[in-house]
Chains A and B, each alone.
Chain A
Amino acid sequence: EAGVTQFPSHSVIEKGQTVTLRCDPISGHDNLYWYRRVMGKEIKFLLHFVKESKQDESGMPNNRFLAERTGGTYSTLKVQPAELEDSGVYFCASSQETGVGTIYFGEGSWLTVV
């Protein structure tokens, strides 16, 4: 069974440009999460989808970040325009249940804004 897949694995963009990160969850997992770790900080929650609906987006830092989950399958996270402080690693995770401890993380998308 395939795990959580993220694309691209690495991205280097200039300040002001747009980047779109994609996440394919484990098949059958209704719950999809985005987390990120910026330089020198801990991993932090961004948002949670249940199927195609945003269940909780309290962790989204500002309106430059837009997440979508079309048809309840894959998800995209767009950063527009990107700022230097957005550099870090963006993790996607998925789970069948909402209970703690049952989530599976992808390998992350490493974003560098220069």
Chain B
Amino acid sequence: QKEVEQDPGPLSVPEGAIVSLNCTYSNSAFQYFMWYRQYSRKGPELLMYTYSSGNKEDGRFTAQVDKSSKYISLFIRDSQPSDSATYLCAMSPYNNNDMRFGAGTRLTVKP
């Protein structure tokens, strides 16, 4: 079983839709939870970062962490074509060396 499970998609939604992206994990030691966005042929770019459980909102993006269920989510409101990218979840118990990535979900937002 992988430490981090993420549905690779692809996921296609119409512009303006609410997008829900999810990851599950098995390692209860994870304390830091990140979402990265990766455009085609580019490097991952940090979108959201959460420590422990709870919600965090930044503009159209909301990250949720439920440690009891070992489940994290990223919601994108009013999705735009420019949101089309691969979204990677990542998590770590301590530092960047121990970061574990999900496979990434490829999202397409159609105009």
Contacts and interface: CB of A to CB of B under 8 A. Distances in A.
Interface residues of B, number: 25
B92 interface: yes
A55 to B, nearest CB: 8
B32 interface: yes
Nearest to B34: A101
Given A44-B101, A100-B34, A105 B45 contact: yes
Contact of A45 (B32, B34, B97): B97
Interface stretch (B9-17, B36-44, B64-72): B36-44
A108 B49 contact: no
Interface size on A, as a range, is 20 to 34
A64 B100 CA distance: 23
A59 B97 CA distance: 9
Interface in A36-72: 42-45, 48, 55-56, 58-59
10 contacts: A31-B96, A42-B2, A48-B97, A93-B96, A95-B96, A98-B96, A100-B32, A100-B99, A101-B34, A105-B44
